[in-house]
A and B are shown apart, each in its own frame.
Chain A
Amino acid sequence: MSCEEWKERIVLLVYEELPEEKKDELVRHTSSCTSCEEELAAFREIHARLACLPEADGPSQGISETIAREARQRRRLFPWPALLRLALASVLLVTVGIVLIHGHRQPTRALTPITWEEPKTADLHNLHEQIREFTQSKSEPLVEGSLSFYRDAYLLEQKMRNVSHQLDTF
């Protein structure tokens, strides 16, 4: 084995990742090869010095609080996408059912494509407020990161309304 190959193992040895059975042969090589012996000693020394560097304690209390608050706020939203998906699925199911029933009696009329409008920020805040009231959760401001969730919910609601409107006109 060339010294280059032994040297790859030296890193593993210093960081205690070299399998036990390979340790002995490496140690045997280093005791007879100045270059590898020197590299092993140098890496051990740097590793020891790096381990002695002071470590920071932790982030400020304010940051921990922000993260804990966000985790709670987000978690309350988790059941919602599932509920909305369920609602959409039931609307679609009813649509398919009605189309099928009507299909037997009269020529089917194609549904027009669903259209929707991008919500304004104020709409999203309204929706946030509605959900908050519905879930009777503690009032917390709508954070930037949640806006995309409310946008999705808003659009979904619009699309569902559009579908049910089309069903009414059948």
Chain B
Amino acid sequence: MSSNDDDILIQNYLSGDDRAFDDLYQRYRRRLFSWLVKCVQDRRLAEELFQETFLRIIRFLPQYKPQEKFSHLLFRVAHRLVLDAVRKNKKDRGVLSLMDVTEPAAKSESQGLEEAIQRIPKEQRAVIFLSEYAGFTFSEIARITGCSINTALGRMRYGLLNLRKILKEWEAI
């Protein structure tokens, strides 16, 4: 899907074609949602953030300028909401709510991996998720998260190193 097509859909929507918005929404619905679920590990919270992201985007669209890719704008808004939610969650409960932390026994390999990701610093996690589940390049990730490409690359590398370390420790048990 090209970003050019996104711009055409946005223009059509702004000039009165509601269907164009539906098409735009369909393009990003699953990509954004599955990324959000990965980030917050909580389907209900992910739904809240998903809705809030799109409501903000809708409000912003009349001012939208194609200089910034729509996908970057969408994930930039969502990324900021995720950071806020994580911060708020930490304050409320001490830790980010994770999936079944109450049942540590018989974790599948994928559950172990998901839990390990939640243990690494959030900036590193954000880069890993934006790359793995939202399909962005490192220069795009830099733009979305507001850092330099080198920082994004460094976060990716240290994120992967941390993951490897945690997994090694767990697998040694």
Contact = CB atoms under 8 A, between A and B. Distances in A.
Contacts of A24: none
Contacts of B114: 53
B140 to A, nearest CB: 11
Given A53-B114, A59-B47, A67-B25, A15 B18 contact: no
Given A55-B133, A68-B21, A71-B58, A11 B50 contact: no
Nearest to B53: A67
Contact of A145 (B14, B43, B55, B164): B55
Nearest to A79: B16
Contact of A60 (B47, B132, B154): B47
B43 A66 contact: no
Contacts of B58: 67, 70-71, 74
Contact of B21 (A15, A55, A58, A71): A71
Contacts of A66: 51
B154 to A, nearest CB: 8
Interface in B14-28: 14, 16, 18, 21-22, 25
Contacts, number: 102
A100 interface: no
B107 to A, nearest CB: 13
Interface string A32-73: 000000010011001101111111111110011011101110
Nearest to A39: B161
Contacts of A47: 132, 160
A170 interface: no
Interface residues of A, number: 36
Interface of A: 7-8, 10-12, 15, 17, 39, 42-43, 46-47, 49-60, 63-64, 66-68, 70-72, 74-75, 78, 145
Interface of B: 13-14, 16, 18, 21-22, 25, 29-30, 33-34, 37-38, 43, 46-47, 50-51, 54-55, 58-59, 61-62, 109-110, 113-114, 128, 131-133, 137-138, 153-154, 156-157, 160-161, 163-164, 167
Given A11-B157, A15-B138, A50-B128, 15 more contacts: A8-B154, A39-B161, A43-B164, A46-B167, A50-B113, A53-B113, A55-B30, A55-B38, A56-B33, A59-B33, A67-B51, A71-B13, A71-B22, A74-B58, A78-B62
